[in-house]
Structure 1
Amino acid sequence: MQTFEVIVQILLFIAPLAISVRYGPMALIGCSAVSVFIMVEIMRMEPASPPLSAVFIILSVICATAALTAAGGMEWLVRLAGKAMRSHPRSIPVVGPLFVWLFTVMSGTGNITFALVPIMYEVSYAAKIRPERILGTAVAVCQLALMASPVAAVTYVFLTLTEPEGNTLLKTLAVTIPASLISTVLTSMVMSRYGKDLADDPEYQRRLAAGEIEPPNTDADAAEDLPPLRDRAPWSAFIFLGGVICGCILGFFEPLRPTNQVVQADGSVLDHTVSMAFMIPITMFAVAGLIMIVCRVTTQDVIGQPIIGTGLIAALLLASVPVLAGTILNAHMDQVASFVGSAIGVSVALFALILFLLASLIQSQVASLTMLVPAALAGGLAVGPMTGMLGAASGNNLLASMSGLGQACILTDKTGSTKQGSILINGSFLLPMLLGSVFAIALGLGIQALVY
């Protein structure tokens, strides 16, 4: 009977994932709720609690980013990046992904890459460089960089789960920032030689001969006639970056956060310092409010930004999928901890493999870490090695060719060099994703030995 129940639970976990491949993330959210209902109401299993702190963080960062975009601050930053890339077109294979890394780290979301894709394509094509080399790397980098962002939800979810073990924001970023930055450079350098040059690419030559694409414009680096920015657009960028810096300072220096006395059940009194899982959302909501006031942005301007929809789906995924997994884990935590402990006993790096595969299935870094980190801690894995292997969470990009960003790159690249792939995963984004993950894990494991 127990074996039968376990099989049913596995099927209830796999079914929403299988359905989501065809119908998308909203189907995963809804079907996860169906599975949880069956487990709780029919199988009488103890339900897991949704990670509300993580949802709080995601919503706050999305609101701040949407306000920044509505105020024109994001466009101002993108124009600065475009000017820098056009001034050094031959360096675009490395410079392009570096700007993606920088903007993702600053904003806490990879959606900024959408705005950079046309610029990277235009500059690379004008320089007669295969666009796939830059666009494929950029898609991989925007997910890898999230681990190094001081305002990304995934950073604070991981910090919240590991703070009881003595982890801090400073330690986490001291590992993830250099690991992801160096891996970005290494991946870009490898990819800069990937694929045929445009002069030798038969598909590009066919399109060029058929008139489907114009020849490279050697004047592409000339000044463009761009529409004027909103008034005070730079102000919104400065306010946003000020919020990021404020969050870093509060995370680095714990005494700056308030400490309250909390009465325990036995009557004793303990000092409790306000956690970063609370301070970061409050800071980012404040950033959104300040941008709206200073830059005269309305509510309709903010909620009309595409990132609001993306963020809502991310928050709903986090409120549903980990509940499904947690409900199953609650019933089998001893066995899971034993399995994870045995796997770690064989090789610590198996944590990275499990995280990569889990992120590939769920397509959410936050949800994957929320599910796996407690089990890994119970299995005896130390926080240091775990931090060093966070780059494996970029496995959520395995189906990048089917994502909105991947499709944007494919449609933007008129040369035909950026491709989807015949079996979904074997497109232009697979190799840079694997390279970035491997480099980040190797570097992270080495750096964490010095930090932790």
Structure 2
Amino acid sequence: MTVFKVVVEILLFLLPLALGARYGPFGLIGASAVSVFIMVEVLRLQPGTAPIAAIFIILSVISATAAMTAAGGMDWLVRMAAKALRRHPKQIPIIGPLLVWLFTVMSGTGNITFALIPILYEVSYSAKIRPERVLATANAVCQLALMASPVAAVSYVFIQMTESQGNSLGKTLAVTVPASLIATVLMSLVMTRYGKNLEDDPEYQRRLAAGEVEPPPELADDVEAEPLPPRAAWSAYIFVGGVIVGCILGFFEKLRPTYSVAVIDDSGSLDAPVAHMVERHVSMSTMIPITMFAVVGLIMIICKVKTPKVIGQPIVGTGLIAALLLLATPVMAGTILNAHMESIKSFVGSAIGVSVLLFAVILFVLAALIQSQVASLTILIPASVIAGLGVGPMTGMLGAASGNNLLASMGGLGQACIMTDKTGSTKQGSILINGSFTVPMLLGVVFSIAVGMVVQMFVF
């Protein structure tokens, strides 16, 4: 009976993942809820707990990004990036991914890459550089850079779960920033040799001869565009200011307010338990939503942005899906973890005992299956902490979470790259993982883990 029950639980975990791959995120969310209902009501398992703090972080950062976008700040930032790229078109295989990295780190979301894709394609094609080399790399970088963002949900979820182990925002960024940045540069250098040059690409030559694509145009120094809202730049400044404030509060704990909390001492004496008042700093999982929602308020007041315009931004839908995923997948996984914590602890401990790097393998596979960095960490980190894996190695291997980009060609960003590239160099692949995006994604994972594991030895 026990074996049968375990098989049923495994199926209840895997089926939502399969349905999610077929029907998308909402299919995964709904199917996860069905599985949890069966586990709790039929199998009588203790339900898992939703990571409420992580959900608040996601909603606050997405709200701030949406407000900045509605005020024109995102367009202003993209135009600044376009000017930089057009000044140095031959260096776009390196500069392009670096700008994607910088914008993702500042905004806390990879969705900003959608706005950069047309520019990356235009500049690379005008310079007669195979667009795939730039677009596929950018697609990988925007996921890898999230680990280095002080306002990304994945960063604070990781910090929240490892804070009791002595981790902090400063320590995490001290590892993830150099790891992801160096990985971006190395990945970009390797990708400059990836694929055939356009003049040697038969598919591009066929399209060129058939008139399906125009010859590479001359790159204009300045492109006329619609005027931005009068306070577009202000919204960008306010947003970046909020990010800086968040970083300062994370780096310097003493700047955060303190509050008194009662701690019960029942150490085994025969006397009644005694409550001691202890001063504690407000956690970053609380300060970040406060800071980013304040950014929303300032942008809406100073830049005169109305609520319907903010809600109408596409990134709001993306943030809603991300938040709902954290109400579904981690709860489903947590329900199983509650029933088999000892066995899972033993498995993770045995795997780590064989090789610490197996943490990265497990994280990569989980992220690829669930297609969510936050949900994957929420599942794996507690079991790894219980198994005794140190915070330093876990931080060094966070780049493995970009395995959520394994099926990049199925995602909206991957499809945007494929459809934008009129040369045909950026491909989906016959079996989804043999297209343009897998190689740079794997390079980014390997390079970031290699650098991260070295850097963490000096930080932790």
SS in 2 for 1:326: helix
C-alpha contact 1:108 1:146 (8 A) present in aligned 2 = yes
Once the two structures are superposed, residues 241-293 of structure 1 have per-residue CA deviations (whole angstroms, 9 ceiling, x without a partner) of 00000000000000001111112344221212110000001100110110011
Aligned to 2:390: 382
Rounded to whole Å, the distance in 2 between the matches of 1:230 and 1:304 is 17
Deviation at residue 446 of structure 1 after TM alignment? 0.3
Once the two structures are superposed, residues 113-148 of structure 1 have per-residue CA deviations (whole angstroms, 9 ceiling, x without a partner) of 000000000000000000000000000000000000
Aligned to 2:222: 223
Deviation at residue 79 of structure 1 after TM alignment? 0.3
Deviation at residue 18 of structure 1 after TM alignment? 0.6
C-alpha contact 1:53 1:278 (8 A) present in aligned 2 = yes
One-letter identity of the residue aligned with 2:220: D
Rounded to whole Å, the distance in 2 between the matches of 1:192 and 1:37 is 50
One-letter identity of the residue aligned with 1:342: S
Aligned to 1:289: 297
Rounded to whole Å, the distance in 2 between the matches of 1:158 and 1:19 is 27
Deviation at residue 187 of structure 1 after TM alignment? 0.1
Q: How does 1:348-359 map to 2 (within 5 A)?
A: 348-359=356-367
Q: How does 1:363-442 map to 2 (within 5 A)?
A: 363-442=371-450
Aligned to 1:344: 352
One-letter identity of the residue aligned with 1:42: V
One-letter identity of the residue aligned with 1:368: S
Rounded to whole Å, the distance in 1 between the matches of 2:457 and 2:221 is 48
Q: How does 1:65-214 map to 2 (within 5 A)?
A: 65-214=65-214
**Structure 1: any 5+ residue segments left out of the alignment?**
none
One-letter identity of the residue aligned with 1:224: V
Aligned to 2:26: 26
One-letter identity of the residue aligned with 2:171: K
Aligned to 1:330: 338
Rounded to whole Å, the distance in 2 between the matches of 1:69 and 1:204 is 35
Aligned to 1:306: 314
SS in 2 for 1:268: strand
Aligned to 2:270: none
One-letter identity of the residue aligned with 2:151: V
SS in 1 for 2:110: coil
Once the two structures are superposed, residues 360-382 of structure 1 have per-residue CA deviations (whole angstroms, 9 ceiling, x without a partner) of 00000000000000000011100
Deviation at residue 319 of structure 1 after TM alignment? 1.1
CA RMSD of aligned residues (A): 0.6
C-alpha contact 1:147 1:390 (8 A) present in aligned 2 = yes
Rounded to whole Å, the distance in 2 between the matches of 1:21 and 1:358 is 13
Deviation at residue 39 of structure 1 after TM alignment? 0.4
C-alpha contact 2:87 2:221 (8 A) present in aligned 1 = no
SS in 2 for 1:311: helix
Rounded to whole Å, the distance in 2 between the matches of 1:206 and 1:293 is 54
- Give the percent of matched residue pairs that are identical in Structure 1 and Structure 2: 72
Bigger Cα displacement from structure 2, 409-418 vs 260-269: 260-269
Deviation at residue 301 of structure 1 after TM alignment? 0.7
Rounded to whole Å, the distance in 2 between the matches of 1:329 and 1:121 is 45
Q: Which aligned runs of 4 or more in structure 1 are off by greater than 6 angstroms? A: none
Rounded to whole Å, the distance in 2 between the matches of 1:104 and 1:328 is 34
Aligned to 1:446: 454
Q: How does 1:238-317 map to 2 (within 5 A)?
A: 238-265=237-264, 266-317=274-325
Rounded to whole Å, the distance in 1 between the matches of 2:363 and 2:235 is 36
C-alpha contact 2:108 2:149 (8 A) present in aligned 1 = yes
C-alpha contact 1:87 1:221 (8 A) present in aligned 2 = no
Deviation at residue 62 of structure 1 after TM alignment? 0.3
SS in 1 for 2:213: coil
Aligned to 2:271: none
One-letter identity of the residue aligned with 1:282: I
Rounded to whole Å, the distance in 2 between the matches of 1:410 and 1:203 is 14
One-letter identity of the residue aligned with 2:234: W
One-letter identity of the residue aligned with 1:4: F
Rounded to whole Å, the distance in 1 between the matches of 2:214 and 2:58 is 42
One-letter identity of the residue aligned with 1:136: A
Bigger Cα displacement from structure 2, 127-136 vs 270-279: 270-279
One-letter identity of the residue aligned with 1:126: S
Rounded to whole Å, the distance in 1 between the matches of 2:415 and 2:247 is 34
Rounded to whole Å, the distance in 1 between the matches of 2:81 and 2:71 is 18
Deviation at residue 221 of structure 1 after TM alignment? 3.0
One-letter identity of the residue aligned with 2:32: S
One-letter identity of the residue aligned with 2:369: L
C-alpha contact 2:73 2:234 (8 A) present in aligned 1 = yes
C-alpha contact 1:125 1:131 (8 A) present in aligned 2 = yes
Deviation at residue 20 of structure 1 after TM alignment? 1.1
C-alpha contact 1:359 1:365 (8 A) present in aligned 2 = yes
Q: What TM-score does the superposition give when structure 2 sets the normalisation length?
A: 0.97
Aligned residues: 451
**Structure 2: any 5+ residue segments left out of the alignment?**
265-273
C-alpha contact 1:123 1:221 (8 A) present in aligned 2 = no
